[in-house]
Amino acid sequence: MKTDESGRYDDLTVSELIEHALALNEGQLSAKGALVVSPERDTEAQRFIVNEPSVSDVIRADAQFHLLDTEVFKSIWERVKDDVAERSRYRIHVHMGVDSHIAVPLEITTLSAWHALTCHYLCHCPSEFNPREKPVWKLIWTPLSSFGDAEILSHGGGVILIHVGKRRILMGGALTTGEMRRTIMTLLGLILPEKDALPLHGAAVQGDGEITLFLGPAGAQKSTWALKCGQLIGDRALSWSSNGLHRLADGCRLHLNQSLPISLDQALQFGTVAENLTLTNERTPILDDPNDDLSTTIPAHLVVPLELLNATSETNTDGPTQLVILTTDPLGVLPPLAKISHEQCLAWFILGYGNHFGPQEGLRPEMDIRFMPGFMDTLLPRNLNDYIVILEDLLKKFETRCFLVNAGWHGGHSGQGSPLSTSEQSAVIDSMHHCADWRPFGALGLSIPSDKSETATAWNSVDRWPDSGDCLSNLSKLVSIIADELQRTSNPERWLRALEIQCN
């Protein structure tokens, strides 16, 4: 254990950090040994990025960042740094990326032991820090009180400040560990395209002779789909370049629910961090009720090392051979599975069509249609064309087959239809791997399997609705909504043509 006289603890081991967290009453151990914490949570976080040429020249106009003056950031940084120096704190040196050639070295400082613990899994802890002597990024995560009376705190929620030129990041407030990971991925979204690499907020898996990459909006259950396909390569922290897929972290953060195909006894071992997991008096877990309204409950998450999951030890893999766009269609008109071309894959990537909570949103009265370019919102802060050019080249290089899977509703819209059953999900996965005969769906340029499945009700969404007229009406509505959204892109004619939507 390394510490200095001011109460700074450097690079503590997993066991040491858990010992500190328990001593500080940050959490308790479950029966199987996981550290269970119940953090407060800011529902909103404002994001600021320092306005400098290296940023303003590349950041897209609709990126969810407020521009910040350099001197304002400098003042806040010094204030936070001075405040943190008077407190007990934890500093950990990690890489975002396992391969040192592309890894970004990070020095992360937190005031909570359990926050530092999660960095062991949401990043990569190397045997040797920064062997290539790259410039080191510094991230400080503190309560809002460390920021003093800074004007940017006027909205009352959490804040994230990024200074690209100085390689500094400030996080303030009761933010989630997912927000920390998201912030680092945002950083990679800025710098990796300069190396012709694409950061991915998805899940990758190898199995049945395939390497499959799942991309989709929050709530699409990317982890669930991936874990059903074989051995996990990485989850939520991946990059893709001409060298293949690359894992960026030693673990992952999973939304814990009853559909997640993992051994809970295995995952809740010593070293795992369980956020907002309810325990019985015997310290055994109580899973979220699937009927709970996600708008009023705080979901449980696991920050778990990959070694406790069905994961491969490989950090670099070829491919992917298959890319699956998961969409959560609240209108319930997209088919369970469709084969799409590379050009169509790019169009769906740009659209990022879905909703806020995936199938769970059926419990809410309102229907919520959402477009999130690249399915990553703030994680793709550059001009979208920067990412599209890279993705287009990679799809061609690896001859990746592309699919669209509706992980949302079928047989009716949100609140009336239902998600795919477990057996139907298995049929989708099997058809992705083995189906050779496809026929036109009749809209958006999609192709669906020609043969009937023994376990899937119907491949054509029209056949799943009680009234085919209602389905066709909603399908026409979706086409119109998508056309309007594509008109906002820099090259609408290209994407409308890809989805076989008539240009007006």
- The beta strand positions in 104-260, using DSSP E, are 104-110, 137-142, 158-163, 168-172, 198-200, 203-207, 210-215, 231-235, 238-241, 244-247, 251-255
The pLDDT, as a whole number, for residue 363 is: 43
Q: Are 109 and 134 in a shared domain? A: yes
Bigger pLDDT: 209 vs 479? 479
Q: Are 207 and 175 in a shared domain? A: no
pLDDT of residue 239 exceeding 90, the answer is: yes
Q: Which of 325, 322, 347, 321 is nearest to 334 (CA)?
A: 325
- The beta strand positions in 355-457, using DSSP E, are 370-371, 401-406, 438-440, 447-449
Q: Are 288 and 422 in a shared domain? A: no
Bigger pLDDT: 382 vs 3? 382
Domain membership flag for residue 181: yes
The pLDDT, as a whole number, for residue 154 is: 62
Q: Are 345 and 436 in a shared domain? A: yes
Domain membership flag for residue 206: yes
Domain membership flag for residue 238: yes
d(CA 125, CA 97): 9
Domain end position, chosen among 270, 289, 308: 308
Tally the domains of the chain.
Answer: 3
pLDDT of residue 290 exceeding 90, the answer is: no
Q: Are 142 and 263 in a shared domain? A: no
Domain end position, chosen among 282, 308, 334: 308
Bigger pLDDT: 472 vs 360? 472
The pLDDT, as a whole number, for residue 392 is: 97
Domain membership flag for residue 240: yes
Q: Are 449 and 437 in a shared domain? A: yes
Q: Are 348 and 473 in a shared domain? A: yes
Asked if residue 320 has a cis previous peptide bond (ω within 30° of 0), the answer is yes
Query: Percent of the chain, pLDDT > 70?
Result: 92
Q: Are 57 and 157 in a shared domain? A: yes
Strand order in the sheet with 89-96: 2-3, 8-10, 89-96, 104-110, 137-142, 168-172, 158-163, 45-50, 66-68
The pLDDT, as a whole number, for residue 345 is: 97
Query: What CATH number is given to the structural domain containing 153?
Result: 3.40.449.10
Residue linked to tokens 């469709």: 338
Domain membership flag for residue 487: yes
Amino acid, single-letter form, for residue 2? K
Q: Which of 445, 418, 420, 473 is nearest to 348 (CA)?
A: 445
Average pLDDT over residues 347-361: 76
Query: Percent of the chain, pLDDT > 90?
Result: 61
Domain end position, chosen among 178, 195, 212: 195
pLDDT of residue 380 exceeding 90, the answer is: no
* Contacts for 17 with CB less than 8 Å, ≥ 6 apart: 90, 113, 114, 116, 117, 120
d(CA 183, CA 171): 9
Domain membership flag for residue 243: yes
d(CA 446, CA 465): 19
Q: Are 467 and 361 in a shared domain? A: yes
Q: Are 229 and 258 in a shared domain? A: no
* Banded model confidence at residue 364, pLDDT cuts 50, 70, 90: very low
Domain membership flag for residue 504: no
Domain membership flag for residue 503: no
Q: Are 301 and 257 in a shared domain? A: yes
Query: What CATH number is given to the structural domain containing 372?
Result: 3.90.228.20
Quote the domain boundaries for residue 14: 2-195
Summarised one tens digit per residue, pLDDT across range 111-158 is 999 999 999 999 999 999 999 999 999 999 999 889 987 777 766 678
pLDDT of residue 333 exceeding 90, the answer is: yes
Q: Are 80 and 225 in a shared domain? A: no
Beta strands at 438-440 and 203-207: parallel, antiparallel or unpaired = unpaired
